[in-house]
Every structure is written in structure tokens, then in C-alpha cells.
Structure 1
Amino acid sequence: MNHYFKKILRYAYPYKKYAYLNIFFNILYALFSTLSFVALIPVLEIIFSNERSLGPKPIYEGITSAKDYAQEYLNYFIIESINNHGEFMVLMYMVGVIISLFLLKNLSNYLALFYATFLRNGVLKDLRNALYSKVVSFPLAFYSEKRKGDTISRLSGDVDEVKNSVLSVLEMIVREPLTIIAALIFMLFISAKLTLFVFLFLPISGFLISKVGKSLKKKSLKVQQEQGVFLSILEETMGGLRIIKAFHAEELFQKKFEDSNERFYKHSNQVMNRQNLASPLSELLGIITIGILLVYGGYLVFIDETLEASFFIGYIMLAYNILTPAKAIAKASYSLKRANGSAERILELLEAENTITDIENPVQKEGFDSTISIKNISFKYEDQYVLKDFSLEIPKGKTVALVGQSGSGKSTIANLLTRFYDVNKGSIEIDGVDIKNISKKSLRGLMGIVSQDSILFNDSVANNLKLGKPLATDVELMEAAEISNSYEFIKNLPDGFNTNIGDSGNKLSGGQKQRLSIARAVLKNPPIMILDEATSALDTESERLVQDALEKMMQNRTSIVIAHRLSTIQNADKIVVLSKGEIVEQGKHQELLEKKGVYYNLVEMQSLA
């Protein structure tokens, strides 16, 4: 078994009782499955045997003569029973025994599958939970390198592939091999010579089946990867539908999707056709063996006369009974090879290193007392430094604005303060404590964020606002809505605070969405507020309402304002002007205007001087 899949099977440990019960009932299934065919031998003896004279009762003389003793005792028992009860009554009894054995066999099969369902779905649940936990714990940098659709594919398609294989593996390593072993034991007992052919057949067929299945893992990996590609295209299409339509790019995206889907189609066909070969190949090999057994068995019955016809027919039935589990093992082994590709992709995500983690026993920061200190930090996303030896002091209760051209590093500072990314050099301290030594939960608990993109979720207004304070009361919701100038439009919604705002809040206008984002930050009531170009995407009227809401929110709070529209930061305690990751000017609005430097030119460009 591939080591990737072994790692996945660790998730079966919490459900081991279901695994044990599954194994127990699979053992019973194998036993009753074999006995149901063995029980046909006495029936055949009753129907075909003309010998009805009762000889002396056979005597057991040791293991070496066990086969002859069993055959003679069976004949003795049948003849005695016929003499006492009649042929038809004995036949009825034996048919009753066979029906009971088949009933027990199928009941065992059902119970084995019943407990396997809990095992399989339990592994699926825990695997998805673990993957989702990883998805939300990874830093933002992880998703700048990965396609979202590929991640979605791993949580859906790959997990389903593994789920289907958990049951296949249980069948492969327990039920089917036990069924074959039980049948072979009885077959060996009936005729060692005939069974020699079966032992020759099993390794040959196993070798041929494994040869066909070798390329399955490689092909199935391509299938799962391509599924990730077209899911990414789908996700991008749905997110950017307005732009696609505006630029008449429907055909371009249709072509991209169809090309990916065509590759998926070809890889899937190759995988399925190889997998479909498992059953007919194993059956063909089995029938060839049955044919050889019929020829050689016929010789033993008619010419050599060392085997009774009823035992020979029972033997052939047992041999044929091996074919079904042999086919199942072949299919399960192919399924396992397919699942190994999916298991590899799942483990790649599960074992990916999270670069932003808490130290052991981190500081649990309950509040903010004095200063945020940014000390000589440098940071790069890839090769080029976005910030170089950047330093800044932000005292408690003050509003500091960061301005500059696009790409000057303004938003990067917000990402570093919240530890969405970690600095490459230098340090950021809150009250003298390096934020790397503060737990991420308590660090982010100190901060509220209102970003340029109003990120809302497909839920009610109330649940979107409660994101930072799940136990907020109706009164607190209303107060936050009033501070953010959003109460007026919320109360006019069909169900007020309980109105669903649609996917990404698309039932609301841009200004309404932004005011809800502010209300969410207000409700959380953090001591530090980060406003990342919170008004840049709004019209004049919406900007006025949002700016008013922001000013109310910033009262008595430490605020870091990243501004594109300079009209929004004229009252800041300090304005820091950045260019190419370095501070070029800092001071109050009027001071900077009087310098007639970079800030003055920025204001001039926005016609605000």
C-alpha cells in the first residue's frame, strides 16, 4: 500500500470500532459464503448417487486420512438419514440449511457494509475538517501561489476519491482475501491435485493485473490536477462575470474552459478504461483456470476414479466462487492506485508548512496601552523589496495616515501589522512586545479592519456584523449601525437585520456594503483600527456618509489610515508620505502643504490645494 494512503488511513483511528465490526462481519461473510457452496455437496450426493446400502460407520484414523474419512462419513450420514427419513425429506432439510447459510452470508455482508459506512463517512468528515482548518490557517501568501479552484478540488474531488477507496481497501484486505482463503482450504481438502492449478493461476493473474494498473496513479493525478484547473476557471468566471461581459470575453473564457475540460475528458477516459479492464481480465483468467480444472477434474472422476462426481461439482462451484472476490480485489487495487494520486494531493495540502505560527506559550495581549513601534522593517513579496528600513511610532489614541503612489507599500504595512505576512527584517512591537511573540488570536483581537473591498458573506446583516462579536445584543447591533450611518437603510430592508444580503453582499450598493464593514468593525470595538483605502471605491455621496461614519468610529481610538483620497485624512495627527517603500515626508496636513514637496504634488494632482 502506498505510503500516501497509509497516512490518510490515520484518520480512520477514531472510528476503529467500526473497522473492527466491519472486519468481524467480513470474516463471517467469508465463512458463510464458502459453507453455502460446501453445503451443496450433500445435495448433489442425494440427487446423483445410486448407492443406498449402509456400510459400517467410518472410524477416524488421524489427519493423514481426514479427507477419506470426511467423504465416507458424509456418505454414511446421508444414507442413514435417507433410510430413516426418506430421500425427499433429507433433500428438504439440506435445502433449508443452504437457504439459512445464504441468509447468514447476506446478513453478514449487510452488517459489514453498514459499519463500513460509518467508517468511510467519518474519515471523509474528519479529512475535510482538517483540510478546511488548513485552508483558513494558511497565510495570505499561500494563496498568491495556489489556484483557489485547485484547493476546492482537493476538498471535494480528491477527498471523494479517497473516501470511495477506504471501503475498497477494507474489502481488499479483509473480506475478499478471506473468502478466497476459505474456499481454497475446502478445495485443498477435496482435491490437492486440482488446487495446485489454482495456486499457479493466482500469482500469474495478479502479475497481469498489476501490469495493467501501474500507470493508473500517474493518470489519475493528471485527472485531479485538471479538475483543479477548470474549477479555478469557473471560480474566476463567476467572480469576474461583469468584466467578462463588458469586454465581450465570453468566447475567450469559454475556450479556456473547454480546453481544460477536453484534457480532463481525455485523462478520465484513460483512467476509466484501464480500471474497467480489471473485471473482465480477472474473469477471463478465472474462466481459463476453470476450463483447465474441468478437463483435469473430468479425468480424475471418469478415468482415474479418485474423485466422486458430487465432490467435483462442489469443487468447481467453490473455484468459480473465487472469481467474484478476485475481480473485487483487482478493482479495489485499481481504485487504490487512483486514490493514491488523490491522497498525494491531499497530503501536500495537509503537510504544507504554515510560515506564520504562534511561538510556544505566546503572550496573550488583552489591551493596548501606549505605542505601536515599527522598527527598521524590510519586506519583499518575491524578489523586490516593497519596504526598506521603514520605521514609525504610532502613539495610543492618535490617527496616523499613510499616503503615496500605488505600490509604495501602504497596504503592506497593514498586512504586516496584522501578521497576515511576517517581516523579513526588523520588528513590529505593541507596548514593547514583538508581535511575533503575541498570539495571533489576541493580536488580531486588538485590531479592526475596514478594507477597500467590502468583504461580506452570504448571510444576514446581523450575522455579518457579529463576525467579530458573536454574542452581540440587538441594542449593540443597532448602536454600531447608527455610528456607521447604516441603520437608516438596514431598517428599510425586507427583514431588517435578518435580511440575507446575497453572495458577497451583492444585494446592496457599494456605499451600503462599506458602511456595513464599518459597523462590523465598530461592533468589535477594538482599540486599534486599520482603514485600508476605505472610501476609494465610493461615489461622492456615499463617501460623505462613510467618511462621517469613519470619523465617529475613530474617536478615542488609535487609527492607521491608508488613504488614496487625500481629502479623507486632512485631520490626521500625522501624515506619512511613502515612495518606493521609504518615508519621504511626514507631518500634519498644513505643514506638508507648506513644504511644497511630494505631498503637495499629490494634493495638487487631486485638485485639493
Structure 2
Amino acid sequence: MDYFKKIIRYAIPYKKYGFLNILFNILYAFFSTLSFLVLMPMLEVIFKPTAPKVTTEPTFKGIADTINYFKEFISYHITNIAGDDKSKALMVVVGLVIVTFFFKNIFNYLAMYFITFLRNGVLKDIRNDLYKKTIELPISYFSEKRKGDTMARIGTDVLEIQHSFLSILLMIVREPLTIIFTIVAMVLISVKLTIFVFIFIPISGYVISLIGKSLKRKSDSVQKEQGYFLSLLEETLGGLKVIKGFTAEKEFQKKFEASTSRFYHFSNTLVNRTNLSSPASEFLGIGVIAVLLWYGGRLVLIDGSLNGEDFIAYMGLAYNILTPAKAISKASYSVKKGNAAAERVLEILETENPLKDAPNAIDKKTFDTEIAIENVSFKYEDNYVLKDFSLTIPKGKMVALVGQSGSGKSTIANLLTRFYDVNKGAIKIDGTDITNIKKHSLRQLEGLVTQDSILFNDTIKNNITLGIEGKSDEEIIEAAKIANAHEFIKDLPNGYDTNIGDSGNKLSGGQKQRLSIARAVLKNPPIMILDEATSALDTESEKLVQDALEKMMQNRTSVVIAHRLSTIQKADMIVVMQKGKIVEQGTHEELISKSGTYKKLVEMQSLG
């Protein structure tokens, strides 16, 4: 129940539906008990046709006399309506039974009707919060987690919470009230018989509780395995070309089948354990009823302290306890399963974001002088990727970072955009540490073009205007022209309204990259970060993209991470990196004349 306290806050906006549900559950529980009590006058009409009629309105003599008063009250009104006509009296009693059962079921429907809005509202809000948290958490969080596992938590785990959440509401309100009202009626009919029954109920309750002990553990295994095979499916769809190209279909099929096999065994155990609850509780309930028949029969036939019609109504009431008792036992199993799901969901919701805005963080609207990287050291895990790294990037200048793979070039881009925070040192813009600038404000000052063109299954127009509002069609076309993208876009079937497919797969690599550049151009930020933006392109595409990049970088501060050195010869400063440190810096001509690391890199690429 620990998680319930955390989940319950999601029900607060829908509390009116909760109160209506409680109201109609109270009425349901009351009419559920009443529907069995009205059987007593009907049985009296059938089995005691010669019994004297009640002709004077009865008076209430106290709680102990409630059942007699109820029977006499009903009998008095039946006599008033039917007189001595036995057939008419039976019709009245049958009508009364139908009316009470009708109201019982109407109130049941209304209770379920209103709880639906609360359940689905809670489901919607948890999913919205999970998605919000997912896009707020730093990239480092998802480099450690499988995407499919996160998808499983937002999908199936939240559904499990929804089902268990409903079970708790039933357990707290409707079923206990039904049991309480029924027990009160049973006590009023026969105290002896009720005491006898309640000697056996705790025994059966204990046996049922033993069955549910391992459900949470089994449920957790099922949900984890589901997360794993969703991840595997997501990886398979993302890497289908490589899987086919390397004929690794069998290997992936084996992995998937092993996962679904584990899921099969976990699910079988869980479902069978859950299924055992219903027959076990029913059998134990019938055991209680059998004992009741024996002892109650003695009270009627031998002791004479109980009327036959009262005993039959009592039996109905006793059976009326079984349904809510079974529902409570099922709900307790659901809660155990929901607890495992809630733990997984709350793990994401309660994860602290290490890249939160500082309490006094500012909104910075302009970039005026320089970016200063001061004695920065950074590591992703154990080993430092950057060590005591310092670099100043003046406004309006193009600075290129070059070096072998693993030298720390892309890490600089990750730190400038604050996808990660530095371990030591500081990065400042116009003298202000970027940790004291709101993330949204910082990223508004920066444009990012990465090696992998990240596009979405949407139109070209919506991909170019991603996160940018209020731009006219003319401005979008102008940005596309600067990016050398307008020519191929206008030839597409629907122009700028053409859907480019999943990850933009309907376009070539060069076209995708030019769209990424158009997006950065339209944003028009003062700082541009290009992370190996041309390394994945063929020569012809590279020329078009390089031309687009040069047009985009005019009068702008640019940090260019370059793989192909031919693309950065015009840079104001080239910084050569090796193992997280600067080994050389200067213009292309200065570095060539030094005959150092940079010249070797250029010669190696020329030979290549």
C-alpha cells in the first residue's frame, strides 16, 4: 500500500467523481443487503399463508427488534394493498424484490460510471507526467536504460496501476460496506449463528492470504521481461539493415524467443497463482456455508430459536458476503501486482534530474562577447574524457575542433549544450556560468546540427519549424534555400507538406542533413554547434551541405567538430585535440607550417 499514498495525489483533480462513486457505492451496499431482507416477507407469504395479518402500524422498540419491526412494517403495507388476496400479496412482494434488485444494480452502474472518469483521468495524468519526466531527464539517464523498458513502464505498467487502483477503491468502499451492512443484518436476525460463522471466516481468510504472498515478485519478473523484449523489438526495427546485412536473423530470433519463453513461464506462474484465488476462496466460502447450514438447521429444527424464512434470508445474506469477500481477495492480488508496476513507474517519476535549473538561474536573451571553457575536466563513467581543458571562443569567430576519435571533440558539444554537466571547471557565456542560465534560455542561444540527422515522422515543414513558432512560409522557404534544400523540396509530390517517413527515411542522407541545417537556420541562433555534420555524406552531398553550412555560419559564432579536415580550412582557429587535451591550435596555414599533429592528420586524409 506504500505506493498508493503516492499515486492517490493523481486522483485529487477528479475527487468529485470519487465522492459520487462513494455515494453510489454506499447506496449499492445498502440495497444489496435490503434485497435479501425483503425476501423474508415473500417467504412468509409463501410458507405461512395462514399467518395472521398485521392490521395496525407497528412501532419501533429498539435495535434488537429491527428485523421484527421490518417484517411487520412490510406485512402491514402488503395487507393495506392486497387485503386477503394471497395472489395479490405475492405479486406485491415479488414487485418489492424486483424494485430493490433494480436499485441495487442501478447504483452499481452509477458507481462504476463515475469511477471510470477517475480511473482514466489518473491513467492520463500519470502517462503525461511520465512522458514529461522522460523528456526532462538528461541524455545520460537513457544511455544506461533500455528504451523498451521505459516504453513498457509508460504503457503496460501504468495500465496495471489503473487496474489495481480501481481494486483498492472497491476494497476500501464498496465491498467492505456491503460486508458491514450484511453482517449488521445477520446479527439482527441471529447473534448466535453470526458468532458461529465468524469463527470460521478468519481461518478461510488466512488460507487465501497464503496464496498471494509471492504475487508481487512474480509480477515484477513479468514486467521486467516485457520491458526487455520491447527493447529488443525496438533495437531490431532500428537495426534491420545491419541484421539482414550480416545475416544475424537467427541470432536475434533466438534472443527474442528466449525472452518470450521466460515471459511465458513467468506469466503462467503468475496467472495460475492469481486464478487459484477465486476457486480457493469460493470453496472455503462454501465450506463456511455448509457449516452454517448444519448449525442454522439445528437452530430452526431442534432449538426453535430461529424462523425458517429468517434462516433462508440469513443464508442469502451469508452468501452475499462471499461475493465482496472474493472481490477483496482478488483486489488484494491486484494490489500486489500493481505494487510492482507502481515501483517501476515511480522509479522514473522520482528520479532526481541532476541537470535542474539553479534556483537563481537567469534568462539570457543575447550573446555579446565570448564563450569561455575554463579548466574543464569531464568523465562519462570512470575515465576522464577531458582533462583541465581551456578554450576561449570569441563572438563571430569560427573555431574548429579536430582530432582522432575519442579525443573529446563531441564531448565539448555535449557540454556546451548542457546535455551533461562538467565534473570540474566551468563553461561561461559572457562571463556567466551556463549552470546559472536556464537550460531553455541557453539552448535558445544555440543551434545544433549533428552527424546523425534526427528527423521525425512528419511533414518537411513541421521538421524545419521544430520548436520554432510564428514563422511564415516565406521565412521557411528562405531557410531551406540557405540550406540548399529548397530545390529538392519543391520537386516532392506535396512540397513542404510531404511526409518524410520514420526518421526521414524517404530522403537521402544529404537531403536529411540539409533539412537539419534548414531547421538550425530558421532558428537563427547567435551560436552554432556543428558536430561532424558532413562526415556521413558522399562527396556531392558534402559539397552542397558544406556550401549550406558556410552560408549559415556567416556573421555567427561557430563551434565546428570536424572529421573531414577539408571542410574547416577557413576556420578562424583550429584546435587539435588528443586524449582530452589541446596539443596544437592556430589557423590552417599556421598549423601546416608547424609540421605537427595537424599536418599529419591532413596528410593521412589526403592519402586516404
Structures share fold, TM-score greater than 0.5: yes
Instruction: State the 1:62 CA deviation.
Output: 4.1
What's the CA shift string for 1:542-588, capped at 9, x where partnerless?
00000000000000100000000000000000000000000000000
- Equivalent residue for 1:492? 491
1:178 matched to 2:177? The reply is yes
One-letter amino acid of the structure 2 residue matched with residue 521 of structure 1: A
**TM-score, normalised via structure 2 length:** 0.97
Question: Which stretch shows the higher mean deviation, 82-91 or 433-442?
Answer: 82-91
- Equivalent residue for 2:252? 253
Instruction: State the 1:472 CA deviation.
Output: 1.3
Report the CA distance shift for 1:308/1:203 in structure 2 as closer, same or farther (over 3 A).
same
CA contact (8 A) 1:42 1:78 kept: no
Instruction: State the 1:470 CA deviation.
Output: 2.6
One-letter amino acid of the structure 2 residue matched with residue 575 of structure 1: I
- Equivalent residue for 1:399? 398
Q: Quick one: distance in 2 between partners of 1:52 and 1:7?
A: 59
Instruction: State the 1:541 CA deviation.
Output: 0.3
- Equivalent residue for 2:525? 526
CA contact (8 A) 1:468 1:523 kept: no
Report the CA distance shift for 1:112/1:247 in structure 2 as closer, same or farther (over 3 A).
same
Report the CA distance shift for 1:144/1:72 in structure 2 as closer, same or farther (over 3 A).
closer
What's the CA shift string for 1:430-467, capped at 9, x where partnerless?
00000000000000000000000000000000000111
- Equivalent residue for 2:317? 318
- Equivalent residue for 1:345? 344
Instruction: State the 1:82 CA deviation.
Output: 8.2
Question: Which stretch shows the higher mean deviation, 566-575 or 261-270?
Answer: 261-270
CA contact (8 A) 1:52 1:79 kept: no
- Aligned partner of residue 266 in structure 1, secondary structure: helix
1:433 matched to 2:413? The reply is no
- Equivalent residue for 1:95? 94
Instruction: State the 1:201 CA deviation.
Output: 2.9
Q: Quick one: distance in 1 between partners of 2:307 and 2:585?
A: 105
Q: Quick one: distance in 2 between partners of 1:546 and 1:455?
A: 16
1:366 matched to 2:359? The reply is no
Question: Which stretch shows the higher mean deviation, 48-57 or 19-28?
Answer: 48-57
CA contact (8 A) 2:58 2:73 kept: no
1:517 matched to 2:492? The reply is no
Q: Quick one: distance in 2 between partners of 1:362 and 1:65?
A: 71
One-letter amino acid of the structure 2 residue matched with residue 395 of structure 1: P
Return structure 1 stretches of 4+ with deviation > 6 angstroms.
none
Report the CA distance shift for 1:55/1:246 in structure 2 as closer, same or farther (over 3 A).
closer
Report the CA distance shift for 1:90/1:56 in structure 2 as closer, same or farther (over 3 A).
closer
CA contact (8 A) 1:450 1:517 kept: yes
- Equivalent residue for 1:380? 379
- Equivalent residue for 2:231? 232
CA contact (8 A) 1:58 1:69 kept: no
CA contact (8 A) 1:364 1:439 kept: yes
- Equivalent residue for 2:274? 275
Q: Map of 1:95-174 to 2, 5 A cutoff? A: 95-174=94-173
Report the CA distance shift for 1:246/1:85 in structure 2 as closer, same or farther (over 3 A).
same
Report the CA distance shift for 1:523/1:76 in structure 2 as closer, same or farther (over 3 A).
closer
Q: Quick one: distance in 2 between partners of 1:519 and 1:61?
A: 86
- Equivalent residue for 2:289? 290
One-letter amino acid of the structure 1 residue matched with residue 351 of structure 2: A
Q: Quick one: distance in 1 between partners of 2:555 and 2:451?
A: 23
Report the CA distance shift for 1:469/1:181 in structure 2 as closer, same or farther (over 3 A).
same
CA contact (8 A) 2:64 2:188 kept: no
Instruction: State the 1:34 CA deviation.
Output: 1.0
Q: Quick one: distance in 1 between partners of 2:131 and 2:298?
A: 64
**TM-score, normalised via structure 1 length:** 0.97
Q: Map of 1:569-584 to 2, 5 A cutoff? A: 569-584=568-583
- Equivalent residue for 2:31? 32
One-letter amino acid of the structure 2 residue matched with residue 194 of structure 1: L
- Equivalent residue for 1:41? 40
CA contact (8 A) 2:67 2:189 kept: no
Q: Quick one: distance in 2 between partners of 1:135 and 1:531?
A: 25
Report the CA distance shift for 1:527/1:86 in structure 2 as closer, same or farther (over 3 A).
same
Instruction: State the 1:277 CA deviation.
Output: 1.2
Q: Quick one: distance in 1 between partners of 2:446 and 2:78?
A: 91
Instruction: State the 1:297 CA deviation.
Output: 1.2
- Aligned partner of residue 366 in structure 1, secondary structure: coil
